[in-house]
């Protein structure tokens, strides 16, 4: 049915996060549909927009991103992006809205509405047994959104300091509430609580992933997020357990040796695997889909030299498929290389490769380096044109191999920013990163654990809710 539903709920759900609701209270709109059946709630969950342009604030904060004069020119007129590249904690000028923040809380409030109402609405055309499924999905989606928010807007979870300031965490609909920050520890506890409740509501034979709408979760999706949260909390044994379960449910990988360009004389035209990468909903490696950018052609950015040096350029198909020295408009950036994901969406949600790397890292950190190498080899045999299996020598060396592969495999997702934050909390050596400010010529530093890893909540938000300062 192609009829477009406009829901009263979605007209004002973000208000408690960023605006005053007073102007909207006691007004009864006409011509809108209030969700009142399971079918209506399912349509809320079927909103494809939840996966679009996720975490765009942090693209240029990632230390693996680099700009020379040519690439910087493509962001020079965007104050937010320039500030992010300069690792400024406060990247938003007064009065400028933060789309990331507003979108995250829009969907958090949508999930809160579903969770509050799913037990009481009519079934409509749905099977009553679907009630638990819809509630489980809403709980899981809320947890995923909070995972994205807390990692963008707060310092990393530290078990020695779980009471560090986190983010606003509304768990019910209250348009007049000016919710204060919960602690980082409380947010992580709530995410795990939501995900475990979701698992309790789903049958053990529930689909591993939602292959039709992979921005909605299946069982493998939920276990994969639990594993990622375990990893981020430093609970490596649980990360191994839950990532093993997720991989047992779903472990599809593309062999990059089977993928090439549609037109070798115009790499930006895209890849020859049909439409499979054009939209992430068709990408079979995606377990729980979110994406940040499409194609990366404008604005574009470069590989940081330190990241570029990690690739075996002769054999690594990731380098072949995702690196070029010529922009889509013909700008030559030699000797540097542009990161591209030509004519395709770049998933920064949960994927099989990311899950494999989480599994490998957790194994290496919990004393099973040989197991880490075994799973890492499964990934790399699908990424290298000439592949010689890696051999485990010691856990420290294996852990570094996993870290390097995580940077290469997840390039363009900005996940490396979160990884550097957590490595510092683990006690790993994290360097002080430096850049040259293209505007001033000054050297900029990003120190381990510094505020440059965190997006400060925009004044446009805190002006409406001072409790978030």
Please, which pLDDT band fits residue 172 given cuts at 50, 70 and 90?
very high
User: Alpha-carbon distance 115 to 104, whole Å?
Assistant: 17
pLDDT digits (tens, 9 = 90+) for 174-219: 878 889 999 999 999 999 999 999 999 999 999 999 999 999 999 9
**Is the predicted pLDDT of residue 2 greater than 80, yes or no?**
no
CA 221 to chain centre: 13
Ranges 20-29, 127-136, 412-421: which has the least confidence? 20-29
Residues 6+ apart with CB under 8 A from 459: 92, 93, 94, 95
31 vs 170 pLDDT, higher one: 170
Give the pair of three-digit tokens for residue 201.
Answer: 């509501």
SS3 label, residue 287: strand
**Is the predicted pLDDT of residue 30 greater than 60, yes or no?**
no
pLDDT digits (tens, 9 = 90+) for 443-468: 999 999 999 999 999 999 999 999 99
**Is the predicted pLDDT of residue 410 greater than 50, yes or no?**
yes
**Is the predicted pLDDT of residue 401 greater than 90, yes or no?**
yes
Percentage with pLDDT > 70 across the chain: 93
**Burial label, 37 (beta-carbon count in 10 A; 0-12, 13-18, 19+):** middle
> Cβ distance 35 to 41 under 8 Å?
yes
Mean pLDDT over each residue of the chain, to the nearest integer? 92
What number is the average pLDDT over the span 6-13?
40
**Burial label, 294 (beta-carbon count in 10 A; 0-12, 13-18, 19+):** middle
Q: Measuring CA to CA, which residue among 370, 447, 375, 365 is closest to residue 405?
A: 375
Pairing outcome for strands 323-324 and 165-168: unpaired
Give the pair of three-digit tokens for residue 164.
Answer: 């560090």
pLDDT digits (tens, 9 = 90+) for 322-339: 999 999 999 999 999 999
pLDDT digits (tens, 9 = 90+) for 39-61: 999 999 999 999 999 999 999 99
> Cβ distance 248 to 223 under 8 Å?
no
What number is the average pLDDT over the span 169-173?
94
Phi/psi of residue 418, each to 5°? -65, -40
In the block, residue with structure tokens 């194994």: 363
Give the pair of three-digit tokens for residue 109.
Answer: 């409030």
Q: What is the per-residue pLDDT for 178?
A: 87
The domain defined by 8-255+349-468 folds into: 1.25.40
Phi/psi of residue 204, each to 5°? -65, -20
Q: Measuring CA to CA, which residue among 410, 304, 307 is closest to residue 71?
A: 304
Q: What is the per-residue pLDDT for 34?
A: 81
368 DSSP 8-state letter: -
Domain ranges for the chain, please list them.
8-255+349-468, 256-347
Q: What is the per-residue pLDDT for 175?
A: 76
Please, which pLDDT band fits residue 26 given cuts at 50, 70 and 90?
very low
**Is the predicted pLDDT of residue 69 greater than 90, yes or no?**
yes
Over its C-alpha atoms, the chain yields an Rg (Å, rounded) of: 22
Q: What is the per-residue pLDDT for 32?
A: 58
Ranges 28-32, 236-240, 261-265, 342-346: which has the least confidence? 28-32
User: Alpha-carbon distance 19 to 460, whole Å?
Assistant: 9
């Amino acid at each position: 049915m192609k009829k477009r539903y406009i829901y009263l709920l979605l007209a004002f759900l973000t208000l408690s996060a960023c605006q005053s609701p007073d102007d909207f209270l006691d007004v009864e709109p006409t011509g809108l549909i209030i969700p009142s059946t399971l079918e209506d709630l399912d349509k809320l969950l079927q909103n494809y927009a939840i996966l679009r342009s996720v975490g765009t604030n942090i693209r240029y904060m990632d230390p693996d991103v680099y700009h020379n004069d040519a690439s910087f020119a493509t962001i020079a007129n965007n104050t937010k992006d320039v500030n992010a590249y300069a690792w400024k904690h406060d990247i938003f000028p007064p009065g400028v809205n933060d789309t990331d923040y507003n979108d995250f809380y829009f969907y958090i409030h949508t999930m809160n509405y579903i969770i509050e109402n799913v037990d009481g609405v009519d079934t409509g055309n749905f099977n009553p047994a679907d009630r638990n499924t819809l509630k489980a999905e809403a709980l899981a989606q809320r947890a995923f959104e909070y995972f994205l928010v807390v990692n963008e807007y707060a310092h990393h979870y530290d078990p020695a300091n779980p009471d560090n300031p986190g983010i606003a965490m509304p768990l019910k609909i209250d348009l007049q509430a000016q919710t204060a920050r919960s602690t980082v520890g409380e947010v992580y506890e709530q995410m795990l609580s939501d995900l475990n409740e979701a698992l309790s509501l789903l049958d053990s034979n529930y689909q591993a992933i939602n292959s039709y709408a992979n921005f909605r979760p299946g069982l493998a999706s939920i276990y994969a997020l639990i594993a990622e949260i375990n990893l981020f909390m430093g609970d490596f044994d649980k990360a191994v357990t839950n990532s093993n379960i997720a991989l047992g449910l779903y472990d599809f990988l593309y062999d990059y040796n089977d993928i090439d360009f549609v037109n070798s004389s115009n790499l930006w035209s895209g890849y020859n695997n049909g439409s499979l990468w054009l939209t992430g909903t068709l990408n079979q490696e995606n377990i729980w889909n979110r994406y940040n950018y499409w194609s990366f052609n404008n604005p574009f950015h470069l590989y940081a030299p330190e990241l570029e040096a990690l690739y075996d350029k002769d054999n690594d198909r990731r380098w072949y498929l995702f690196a070029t020295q010529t922009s889509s408009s013909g700008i030559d950036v030699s000797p540097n290389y542009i990161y591209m994901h030509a004519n395709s969406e770049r998933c920064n949600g949960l994927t099989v490769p990311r899950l494999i790397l989480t599994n490998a890292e957790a194994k290496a950190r919990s004393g099973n380096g040989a197991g880490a190498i075994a799973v890492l080899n499964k990934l790399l045999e699908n990424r290298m044109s000439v592949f010689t299996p890696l051999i485990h020598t010691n856990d420290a060396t294996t852990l570094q191999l996993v870290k390097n592969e995580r940077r290469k495999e997840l390039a363009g997702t900005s996940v490396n920013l979160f990884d550097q934050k957590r490595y510092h909390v683990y006690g790993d050596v994290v360097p002080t990163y430096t850049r040259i400010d293209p505007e001033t010529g000054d050297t900029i530093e990003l120190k381990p654990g510094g505020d440059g890893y965190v997006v400060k909540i925009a004044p446009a938000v805190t002006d409406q809710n001072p409790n978030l300062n």
